[in-house]
Amino acid sequence: MQRTFAKVLNIEQLTSHYFLITLMAPQLARTVQPGQFLHVRTGEQLDPLLRRPFSIHDWHSGEGTMQLLFQVKGKGTQLLSRKQKGEQLDVLGPLGNGFAITKKKGKALLIGGGIGEAPLWGLARTLKEAHWEVTIVLGAAKQTLLARHNDFSQWGETYIATEDGSVGFKGRVTNLLPLVAAEHLDQVYACGPKPLLAALYTWTNSNNLPLQVSLDEVMACGMGVCLGCVQPVGRKEAPVLAKVCTDGPVFSAEEVVWDD
């Protein structure tokens, strides 16, 4: 982990909600694991004060570049969306424990809800490069809450669902699961809203599949010192509070204590 001032090489608005920013950060790009994140200071201002954590979307150690795919939600992401090519961004990273690739090769299912597609891109590329067979299922409320759904097919067969039917199947991600041949899978990875992750866990559990989930939590430091971003893990009756920033953000779904 390092702090660096990364030059903005490009910033692109992909939909009315989503931006893709490309940074020059050679030191950081060298050691990234899929699912890790950057903690970004959105500017010198005191409000918003704290850094914002963003999953690393993609990186290229050779070129020294990294990409963040983000959704404009509040003041911090709004400021980030206004960055210009050539500006410097104060970033800390790579942080956290990413997705674990547990076998030499196999068949993986990647499931993203909304902006949850962000870390799956780098994961899909890594898996594909490791000769895994990848299937991707992405879903969102509407088309503008999906960013790169058309590009994901380069990593594997891709299924899309939107609740309003504006693109792909009309319905939820979970409605698409019967299309996937669960019995052939070795690993399921997911990132998205908690209720989606909980529903996926029910599904993977009943199909006896291992599931890794990337969780999102409000963070201050991003490096395990403020103890702000806790997630109950372990036994439901006597949970332990894990830190999403350094124990996660990726957890094995069976560790997580899911809300009822």
Which residues here bind other proteins, judged by CB under 8 A?
A: 1-3, 41, 46-51, 90, 92, 217-232, 240-241
Nearer to other proteins, 14 or 225 (CB): 225
- Least distance in angstroms from the C-beta of 83 to other proteins: 18
Nearer to other proteins, 183 or 238 (CB): 238
- Least distance in angstroms from the C-beta of 94 to other proteins: 13
Beta strand 37-41 with 18-24: parallel, antiparallel or unpaired? unpaired
- Least distance in angstroms from the C-beta of 255 to other proteins: 16
Helix or strand run (H / E) with residue 69: strand 65-71
For residues 15 and 166, give the distance between their C-alpha atoms in angstroms, rounded to a whole number.
14
- Least distance in angstroms from the C-beta of 80 to other proteins: 15
- Least distance in angstroms from the C-beta of 224 to other proteins: 6
Nearer to other proteins, 97 or 143 (CB): 97
- Least distance in angstroms from the C-beta of 49 to other proteins: 6
Classified as helix, coil or strand, 29 is: helix
For residues 122 and 125, give the distance between their C-alpha atoms in angstroms, rounded to a whole number.
5
Nearer to other proteins, 41 or 149 (CB): 41
Handedness of CA 193, 134, 33, 115 (dihedral sign): negative
Nearer to other proteins, 48 or 64 (CB): 48
For residues 3 and 89, give the distance between their C-alpha atoms in angstroms, rounded to a whole number.
10
DSSP state of 183: G
Nearer to other proteins, 14 or 226 (CB): 226
Nearer to other proteins, 14 or 218 (CB): 218
Report the Cα 180 to chain-centroid distance in Å. Answer: 21
DSSP class per residue in 91-153: EEEEESB-----SSS-EEEEEEEGGGHHHHHHHHHHHHHTT-EEEEEEEESSGGG-SSTTTGG
Sheet with strand 187-191: strands edge to edge = 169-170, 157-162, 133-140, 107-113, 187-191, 211-214, 250-252
- Least distance in angstroms from the C-beta of 228 to other proteins: 3
